[in-house]
Structure 1
Amino acid sequence: MPLSESQLQTMVSINDTVSPEDVADIYLPLVRLVHLYYESARQLYVATSAFLGDPAQKVPYVIGIAGSVAVGKSSTARILQALLVSRAVAPKVDLVTTDGFLYPNRVLQERGIMHRKGFPESYDRRRLIQFMVDVKSGLPNLSVPIYSHLIYDIVDDQVQVVDRPDILIVEGLNVLQRGGQPSRRPQLFVSDFFDFSIYVDADETLLQEWYIDRFLRLRNTAFRDPSSYFRRYSELSAEEAITVARRIWREINWVNLRQNIEPTRERADLILEKGTNHTLEHVYLRKL
């Protein structure tokens, strides 16, 4: 095991559970698979550049991770990042979440879509696509806005710098989505820039249960912070908190899951399917 149990716990989200057995049985084989794909892609890129007489420059291998709210995408992304580094698959592995490309709250409020936060229209898709173009162009020192779940908004004057990593992991709700309005002009999507993609899946009943559980835990922790956007929820009774969490899930997160997230499941190269207690029960790999 390249990760101790204490290290593993620092990577797992508040309502998630990942066992050492999951790491040994699922994540380590996944890292070996990614290593094979990464090396093959790198060799092909070098060979193509030589064929064209164009000196090869460093272009990151991009892994996309998608899935519902509360399914454990962030845990998967952080564990995968740590294992790729610890197993020396690549010297430098960066992780970016698409939360940083959400419009600031003031913009969402101006457009009347604050209640649609997390839906495709709540993201600055042009800026996100430009970031992916720049990544695959091998450009250095790219800036990514930082999102705070505590204040529920973009943090002013703070950025994450992405400087030509060997592997870049991009994690977000809708990163595998395609579609939109018909257009005569070619359309680009975030997923067009992925070399490998993962969808973290679970039954809707479990997702709702995990979301409510996370809400209750945050009610007793982060929501109590005076600077928390959700400070008002910390005063709710357990019964009131469950009612509020269930309503938010039903009116927002479940709608987004059904309309935008779940339909992208079959587009992934690999699906990690979770069962009770977040246990990884099935792995589906696209062969072709």
Structure 2
Amino acid sequence: MTDNELLSPYITFTHPDWKQLRASVSLPLTEAELEKLRGINEKISLDEVSDIYLPLTRLLNIHVANNQDTYKAVNLFLGHLTPKVPYIIGIAGSVAVGKSTTARILQALLTRWPNHPKVDLVTTDGFLYPNRILEQRGIMKRKGFPESYDLQKLIKFLIDVKSGKAEVTAPVYSHLEYDIIPNQFQTIRQPDILIIEGLNILQTPRHQKASRPRLTVSDFIDFSIYVDADEQDIMQWYIDRFHVLCRTAFQNPHSYFHRYADLSEDEATKIATQIWNDINGINLEKNIIPTRYRSSLILKKGACHRIKEIKLRKL
């Protein structure tokens, strides 16, 4: 361990070092299953799932098992049963960095562990304000920024989940329509683990003249993961994804972005670059990157989308 690592709150692992922590855990995913979990334009392989995500689920399983043991011990101490509450894993990072794929792969792998077979996944997209409200407030072009979320509704959802409520609902977001779907909800029924994925889940409260402390999403998260990469790489992934969407999802007449369906390659690159520079890049630098070192674990990707470094917070 170097002097820098001794002074850091994190232990740093290279890809080969982390791979050794898999131990004898077998890979339960097939290539066909992984294909359904991959994001647009992502090339994650079964080898990377085996090298990176299996050791990570082994670590998470240890944390969840300890949490479950504590629950049993406290109930024994109290002499009565209290409602079981889910262990919450938060996954943060930029647009186009691959956090949604990370969330789906972790969900698929964690359900294979016998002591926590029920794993639900919720994205914070459902807690964005509807487009009509964003337009009324003049912040449609700041969609994904902290102020574009109904934080009160998201916090209420997490309070209900962590209170052990039998059934909790979350709004549903349509990427096709680029808006909240009215009267459609995802129902959460006391899972063993809840994965919550979103851009700003590790943010602290903004300075306000408040008379009392404010709750944040991170107050409810038991273990947090930040998916990281160099900004230039993320920007290129965003542009590449935009090109793919122009040829696929944007071709749908019902798509909010159907107007981009017939762009040339050069036009698509120009518009994607402008969107990144005007919106996503600013959000990343001002709101997302500053939360990186609040996470329990950082997955750092290289230019090829492959994870090259893992930082684990010391206990």
TM bracket, shorter-chain basis: over 0.9
Equivalent-residue separation in structure 2 for 1:53 and 1:176 (angstroms): 35
Aligned to 1:65: 91
Give the CA deviation at 1:89. 4.3
**Does 2:271 align with 1:244?**
yes
Aligned to 2:286: 259
Q: 1:240 to 1:146 in 2, by over 3 A?
A: same
Equivalent-residue separation in structure 2 for 1:87 and 1:282 (angstroms): 25
Task: Return the TM-score normalized by structure 1.
Answer: 0.98
Which of 172, 175, 190 is equivalent to 1:149? 175
Alpha-carbon contact 2:61-2:113 (below 8 Å) kept: no
Instruction: Give CA-to-partner distance per residue, 1:65-119, whole Å, 9 cap, x none.
Output: 0000000011000000000012334120000000000000001001110000000
Would you identify which runs of 4 or more consecutive aligned residues in structure 1 move more than 4 Å? none
Equivalent-residue separation in structure 2 for 1:243 and 1:88 (angstroms): 49
Provide the secondary structure at the position in 2 that maps to 1:86. Answer: coil
Which of 87, 94, 109 is equivalent to 2:135? 109
Equivalent-residue separation in structure 2 for 1:19 and 1:186 (angstroms): 44
**Does 2:214 align with 1:214?**
no
Which of 190, 197, 216 is equivalent to 1:189? 216
Alpha-carbon contact 1:215-1:245 (below 8 Å) kept: yes
**Does 2:42 align with 1:16?**
yes
Aligned to 1:171: 197
Alpha-carbon contact 1:98-1:170 (below 8 Å) kept: yes
The percent of aligned pairs where both chains have the same amino acid is: 57
Equivalent-residue separation in structure 1 for 2:303 and 2:291 (angstroms): 23
Alpha-carbon contact 2:93-2:227 (below 8 Å) kept: yes
Aligned length: 288
Task: Return the TM-score normalized by structure 2.
Answer: 0.90
Q: Which runs of 5+ in 2 are unaligned?
A: 1-26
Alpha-carbon contact 1:223-1:231 (below 8 Å) kept: yes
Provide the secondary structure at the position in 1 that maps to 2:61. Answer: helix
Alpha-carbon contact 1:50-1:56 (below 8 Å) kept: no
Which of 194, 201, 212 is equivalent to 2:228? 201
Q: Which runs of 5+ in 1 are unaligned?
A: none
Equivalent-residue separation in structure 1 for 2:59 and 2:211 (angstroms): 38
Instruction: Give CA-to-partner distance per residue, 1:160-179, whole Å, 9 cap, x none.
Output: 00011010000000001113
